[in-house]
Amino acid sequence: MTETTATPNTTMQAVVCHAPNDYRLESVARPTAGPGEVILKIGACGICASDVKCRGGAEMFWGGNGQPAWVKAPVVAGHEFFGEVIEMGAGAEEHFDVRVGDQAIAEQIVPCGKCRYCDSGHYWMCEVHNILGFQHEVAEGGMAEYMRIPAKARLHRIPESLNLAQSAFIEPLACGIHAVNRGDIQLDDTVVIAGAGPIGLAMVQVALLKTPKQLIVIDMIDERLALAKRYGADVVLNPSKDDVNARVKELTGGYGCDVYIEATGAPSGVRQGLEIIRKLGRFVEFSVFGKETTVDWSIIGDRKELDVRGAHLSPHTFPVAIDLMARGLVTTDGIVTHELPLSEFEEGFRMATAAESIKVLLVP
């Protein structure tokens, strides 16, 4: 661990990742603020699909097939957090423009500030790529009672009007906004969002604000499709019941959708998208996959000449997410389904993969 050495009355409870399927609730050193740093008293921390895949040993986190390990354990898990500013190091007030007592949230990435990507303003693609909750060198994650925010982090104040669920959902919403923006949605577009998980449902609400001609949502769980419909989807499709390809072609004069946003995290979601998207369409890949996904690349080039766009993290979208939430343009009602104490993190991880829940929060 990278925090200060524990002494009596300076410990806290935290969920520590040691290895795949080895997460433990431990008493660890409570962090203190160095120069330019902030300590948050965590209000809540969401369990993300990437947390679940990391815990399950997915290659993209732990290495394999020539890929280096991304996770550097032991590390306190969690990147979907927010909290109250309770301590600031020298210069932190001016640096972050926050005060003790403010509610605040930090972006997942802690940019190095020196690589070619940071230097060109593309900080979310930082070559060093330290992500809170996965690598311990810079700082630990938010599944804890307290968290240290490094001076190089990007911290944002949260208005008092937002409640616990709204504040904890800012990070997923910010990621969804970036993915939707990558789709470059036009007024006459038919847009398909595949995957109605927490971020997919955020994307539905954000895509609706772009006022496309048609908004179609695909998922295997009817309850989530009902939510998507409530949030403004024109058509919802369940691949276990509906002929998705036929329905999308029927709704688009036989051509296919203009924009396909893949948020399923399943290889079948990629193949489905390549099938139902029209020629010259825009395919946005958002998901984090547990292993390599294989497709027929001739579809992308020779057959359809698709514009394939990735969507990584949430560059410049945290302020937008906070504003949309504060103005009531995006809701967490129906998305944040469970709040559990930190001590029940095992149940939280189980529920995060179950049909009975959508977004699960751990509350210290």
Whether domain 11-169+332-363 has CATH 3.90.180.10: the reply is yes
Q: Which residues of the chain have pLDDT under 70?
A: 1-9, 66
pLDDT (0 to 100) of residue 278: 98
Q: Which pLDDT does position 303 carry in this prediction?
A: 97
pLDDT tens per residue across span 268-318: 999 999 999 999 999 999 998 877 889 999 999 999 999 999 999 999 999
pLDDT value, residue 198: 97
Q: What is the pLDDT of residue 347?
A: 97
Distance CA 82, CA 202 (A): 18
Domain ranges of the chain: 11-169+332-363, 175-310
pLDDT computed for residue 178 by the predictor: 98
Q: Measure the CA–CA gap between 261 and 217, rounded to whole angstroms.
A: 10
The predicted-structure confidence for 175-214, as pLDDT tens digits, reads as follows 999 999 999 999 999 999 999 999 999 999 999 999 999 9
Q: Which amino acid is at 161?
A: S
Q: 175-310 belongs to which CATH class?
A: alpha beta
